Amino acid sequence: MDSRAVFVLLWMLLSSTSTGIKLDGNGYVDIIIAIGSRVPQDDMLIDKIKEMVTEGSYYLYDALDEKVYFKDATILVPSHWSVKDFSKARTESFEKAHIKIDYANSVNNIEPYTKQYGECGDEGEFIHFTPEYLLNDTLIELYGSRGRVLVHEWAHLRWGVYDENNDKKPFYYSNGRIEPTRCSKNIEGQFYEVTAGGSLQQCRTDPETLLLTKECTFFPDRNQITNSSIMFLPSLDPVTAFCHENEHNYEAPNMQNIKCGKATWTVIFEDSVDKDALRSLKPPESPPPPPSFKIVQRKQRVVCLILDVSGSMRGSRILLQQQAATHFLRNIIEEQASVGIVQFSTSASTLSPLTTIDSDNTRENLIKMLPKVADGWTNMCLGLSQGLQVLTVDNGDALGDEIIFLTDGEATDNIELCAPSAIKSGAIISTVAFGKKAATALIEMAEQTGGKFIYANDELTSNQLMDAFASFTFSTGDYTKEPVQLESVGERTSDWFNGTVSVDQTVGNKTSFVIIYELSFPSVYIQSPSGLIYTQTNTSHDKLLKTVTLNVPGTAEPGDWQYSIQTTILQALTLTVTSQAAQADVPPITVKTRMNQKSSDGTKPMIVFAEVSQNYRPVINAEVWATLESETGIEHTFQLLDNGAGADASQGDGIYSRYFTKMVNGRSSLKVRVKNQEGQTRLAAPKKSGAPYVPGYVVNGVVQLNPPKPPVSEEPLEVGSFTRTATGESFEVTLSGTAPPNFPPNRITDLSAEIHEDTVLLSWTAPGEDLDQGTAKSYEIRWSFDLDMLRDSFSNGHVVNTAAVSPQEAGSVEQHSFNLSFPIQNGTTLSFAIQSEDEVNATSETSNIAQASKILRAPKPPGISNPGMNLTVLVISVCVVTMVICFIVAVTTWAVKRKKLSSESKVELTI
């Protein structure tokens, strides 16, 4: 058995240290629930969390045919909470928590939700609950019991399903019937409008669409004849199941149909991460016990830098390492953190024991201890062992402490044999593979301990090593105390190196410009937005490190900062700009980026994600570019989009995405640059998947209203000029050949349809030649009266002539209008779908099914009080009522006239 196989075996044995959720038999374990650092201590909050998870466990057990439940969970509390029976945190962190308890993105916003990046069936990012939601029992009536809501969110998080309601399209037409968007269709209820005074009135219709107005609300019956579905309304007592195929409402214009096109139950058992386990699991012999809980806490950050000084690090590499580590110690690591430094080659030694950072002098003293000379062999195990010893000095163990481990070469020792013990230590190990030959075990150590793996080349202009060390932050949920990287750029020139860095209102404190030169000290000119110019006389110059640093005094002025760096000889120059929050109560705009896979064999498409936000609130309409650079130097730069098409799950949610199709063998780095897009960037209301607010229920035929939820501002806010850069974890590709794989065009998920008179108008976002890259060759559009037939057998639908449709570049808005060969009758609903084809005749998956109904202009029907009421019946009812009224009026008029004539006759006789 080779060393690689030995390591894989040991890695499997140590899988319990992984930071991911797992199934242990029928029970989910390693669930991390983290409370944000801004949340004040409240013991009741812990109790409420336990109650929610316990109730949710039993509800989940029943909902999934007694297959799974919650077995254990770990609750991570903030460092400022007073110690009771809390254990020391291991690899648990707020950033990687599966459930986050934190304040919302805006005042009054207490709704639970799940952040989802990926495609149908992909795991979500995290579930978000606010402290108020957990502590305020009056909210149970508005959203349902917390355990039920947790299971609704768990389905988003774990199985990648979507909501079956739709706040934007709460109603739709189905062959002349007005239906509420719901699943299953057996959910009954009534339609009413709630007036400003809190009374009910019949719903009105929009005279243009004849759909119910946005003020109309569907009130479900408290008692139902169906038990589904949890993804529509978990608050209903009878709802205890997810929608199966036989009950799923494929007509409803909800995200589950748009993104998945299949029933929730089907996605869980056929597409989710648990699909294989769920199909094979048998119900346990006895009902599950209550979940067990562990309360853990992390105090101040403890980090040990373990740095390679072997012979292969001589020359530029040892200098690059010194520059990057200096940047980390000076600008990245926070106050009151403890840092130790270890170097290794043939032997290992401690350059600095754990030292608490309490002043700039402490930082500079640590910088002086960084290694400057390289020689000897590469013995990684000695370095790991020495680093772990440094971490145990303060309290006897390395639990929850961090290691930043950098090496540039293959180990001369057998690192596969010592890596498992390092993983088992409980330390969080982040690794930097500096160059092409660094050992593969670095990836597994980072993956198994909740650390980061980053590949960095030694090309100075890429600035990758500086970016790597700048990314080693440790979030507690309070982003006001964390550094933000505004810029990272490099260029090889013999003239001017110019550019602009935008400092927005959310940052400005501790702003630093770090310039690194390769050969000769350049001339530096940095101009503030008001015109103040900083030159060499305002900077500090370190000749040994070849760095020039400008620390902007006070809070940097918001606006565009211009930099001009002049060199008279050909050399590489880089600029790195970092800053921190300008105000203690205003979190800065942040960027997080990652790939959907950390390793790929090319069989499944890779996706780049970049989330741009401010305290959970999405930043939309930004310009976002990703650069992926392989270890062979091949670089691909492309724009990420937030258009709800292709790889992007939802439009306008601040998550910018794109497929990466130009895969090459080996390791690749990921870097994202973000800026304001021509003044169009905005802070928007959050878009999210979550359990819906219930305005009320129908009990014994009478609507009982719930209290209204607090108003939340949805007005977008302007964002001034800003720049950000972010580095994601690196990834590795192992293809069977040298050529990148060919993929068909991506599935279209935003097809919409309208019928005006006898003309059909279709709209969608163009796919690409390869997924969402390039331009597809052709479209095939089909329609049917039967949605299920079109979904199950696209080729049996009626063909639409698309000879005049020439596909545009991926991401473009496409429209096609046409007339059918027969007149469309009033009330008719048609279904449409699209497939696209590339140059090698590879065909995309069938798009979402778009429905459209022909509705003639007509007087407004009266309010509707039952779901699915037939429009024809409404019109007939109106006509009958009108005829009856006319008849009554006619009879009354005739009687009055006759009485009057009779009176007149009597008068004449008397005279």
Give the residue numbers annotated as catalytic, written as ranges. 153
319, 309 Cβ separation under 8 angstroms:
no
3-state secondary structure 430-462: EEEEECCCCCCHHHHHHHHHCCCEEEECCCHHH
d(CA 322, CA 316): 10
420: closest CA among 441, 405, 437? 441
Helices (H), 198-274: 255, 264-270
d(CA 480, CA 589): 10
719, 619 Cβ separation under 8 angstroms:
yes
Q: What count of Cα atoms within 13 Å lies in the side-chain half-sphere of residue 224?
A: 26
Give strand pairing partners of 668: 630, 731
Other C-beta atoms lying within 10 Å of the C-beta of residue 66: 16
d(CA 165, CA 180): 9
E strand spans, 309-388: 338-344, 348-356
Instruction: Please report, for residues 204, 213, 621, 690, 887, the alpha-carbon distance to residue 207 in angstroms, rounded to integers and kept in the order given.
Output: 9, 9, 33, 32, 28
Taken in order 237, 243, 247, 250, the sign of the CA dihedral is positive
User: What phi, psi does 73 have (nearest 5°)?
Assistant: -150, 150
User: What phi, psi does 325 have (nearest 5°)?
Assistant: -65, -35
Instruction: Please report, for residues 190, 537, 587, 746, the alpha-carbon distance to residue 200 in angstroms, rounded to integers and kept in the order given.
Output: 11, 73, 42, 46
Q: How far is CA 735 from the centre of its chain?
A: 28
User: What phi, psi does 896 have (nearest 5°)?
Assistant: -65, -45
Tokens representing 276 are 């294989």
Angle (CA) 575 578 583, round 5°: 155
672: closest CA among 712, 724, 617? 724
d(CA 7, CA 641): 39
3-class SS of residue 295: strand
With both helix axes pointing from N to C terminus, report the angle between 43-63 and 146-159 in degrees, rounded to the nearest 10.
70
833: closest CA among 792, 805, 803? 792
Q: Please report, to the nearest 10 degrees, the dihedral formed by the alpha carbons of residues 54, 60, 66, 67 taken in order.
A: -100
Residue 72, Cβ density class (10 Å: 0-12 exposed, 13-18 middle, ≥19 buried): middle
Q: Are strands 496-503 and 559-566 parallel, antiparallel or unpaired?
A: antiparallel
Tokens representing 911 are 């005279």
Give strand pairing partners of 115: 126
Give strand pairing partners of 833: 782
71, 22 Cβ separation under 8 angstroms:
no
Helix (H) or strand (E) holding 815: strand 813-819
Tokens representing 849 are 């099914």
Q: What is the DSSP letter of 850?
A: E
Other C-beta atoms lying within 10 Å of the C-beta of residue 805: 17
Angle (CA) 73 79 84, round 5°: 70
